[in-house]
Amino acid sequence: MSYVGPDSDGYFDGDGDGPRRPRRFSGGPLTVALAALVPTALAGWLIWQVVGGPGENEPAKTLPAASQSSTAGADTTSPSPSKSDDGKKGDGSPSATPSKPKSKSKPPASSSKPAGSGPLKGKVVVIDPGHNPGNFRHATEINRLVDIGTNRKECDTTGTSTNAGYTEAQFTLDVSRRLRTLLQQQGATVELTQNGDRSWGPCVDERARIGNKAHADAVISVHADGSAAGNRGFHVILPASVNSGSANTTAIAGPSRDLGERVAGNFLRATGSAPSNYIGDGTGLDVRKDLGGLNLSTVPKVFIECGNMRDAKDAALLTSGAWRQKAAQGMSDGIVSFLRG
């Protein structure tokens, strides 16, 4: 965020031929001779094939209930696909007969795989990856003014970038995905406001509504700043107490401050980055009433500016995958601390 101006089904089908059956014998001298040359048990088996075995067009016999129960614990369904950052996914289903691959549609941005067990089981967290990599192609759409309670403001912006061209939108989406994984491991249900699956946006008012609709226990909007070189460090933005038009943060200002303080402390601990030297008077905290994503929220929410993309030293951190993992860990630790009280 810049302060200029006010995130083939595989299947196993064997050879497709089904089980082979022994050739049916028609009786007579050949059968008698063969029965005389093999053990009694084998002769009995051959007689069963002649008299009682399934014919070519008869259905195969089903297993008795006891035999079927022995396979009840086998996994005959496709495992839940794991989705990687590039959206590739695959699964397999061991089947005795061929089946057509199932088509899979991409889940919406707000979807989340079921939460597991952990200290955050039953908690809902919404992560808001700031901006969108495609925003610059949609100037008309993102420049549209939307109501943020205190005034009207642009739907969204393109965000900033490093001098080498690594964009804020790329950064926020990567960190948000890492953060999602960490929170899911703690048992939380996690939703993203966008997951690189839409061409632009969403607008700031819609981003707020996504968290509200999810009845989120906590929301964090991930950003990086675009300030002057020499300005370094992170800061967490808290909602001011606002009650104007469609904005009313009076109920969430206190809990949001608690969330922000915990995120700031744990972010510092995990990354080793210092609080901002140009915003927040060294506290790493900043209170604002001009951000629609905060003004319109009805659930605890904060923004985090992870560093200054226009400063070479901060940019070296922001472009490091190892550092971005630490950043995600710091945010996760802060959110876990807040939700566990």
Residues 56 and 187 in one domain: no
Assess if residue 116 is contained within a domain.
Answer: no
Give the per-residue pLDDT at 151: 96
Distances (CA, A) of 268 to 255, 271, 319, 334: 20, 6, 18, 10
Is residue 172 included in any domain, yes or no? yes
pLDDT score for 94: 31
- Claim to verify: residue 186 and residue 281 sit in the same structural domain: yes
Residue 236 CA neighbour count, 13 Å, CB half: 28
Provide the pLDDT for residue 240: 98
Provide the pLDDT for residue 156: 98
Residue with tokens 């996760």: 332
In a domain, 4, yes or no: no
Domain that holds residue 136: 124-340
| One domain, residues 156 and 219 | yes
In a domain, 206, yes or no: yes
pTM to 2 decimals? 0.69
Q: What are phi and psi of 154, to 5 degrees?
A: -55, 145
> Does the residue 302 lie in any domain?
yes
Q: From CA 208, how far away is CA 247, in angstroms rounded? A: 11
Tokens found for residue 179: 């953060």
Residue 305 a catalytic site member = yes
| Under-50 pLDDT residues of the chain | 2-109
Tell me the CATH number at 232. Answer: 3.40.630.40
Q: Of 56, 78, 94, which residue sits at a domain end?
A: 94
Residue 108 lies in a domain: no
Note the pLDDT of residue 113: 54
Do 60 and 206 share a domain, yes or no? no
CA distance 201 to 204: 8
Residues 57 and 134 in one domain: no
Q: Which two tokens stand for residue 302?
A: 């904060």
What pLDDT was estimated at residue 117? 82
| Exposure on the CB side of residue 252, measured as CA atoms within 13 A | 28
State how far the Cα of 272 lies from the Cα of 137, in Å rounded to an integer. 36
User: What is the domain count for the chain?
Assistant: 2
Q: Is residue 119 part of a domain?
A: no
CA atoms within 13 A on the CB side of 206: 17
**Residues 267, 187 share a domain:** yes
Q: Does residue 284 belong to any structural domain of this protein?
A: yes
DSSP state, 259? H
* pLDDT value at residue 1: 60
* Cα separation, 141 vs 169, whole angstroms: 17
Q: How many angstroms from the chain centroid is the CA of residue 288?
A: 29
Same-domain check for residues 66 and 158: no
| 214/330 same-domain check | yes
Enclosing H/E stretch for 12: strand 10-12
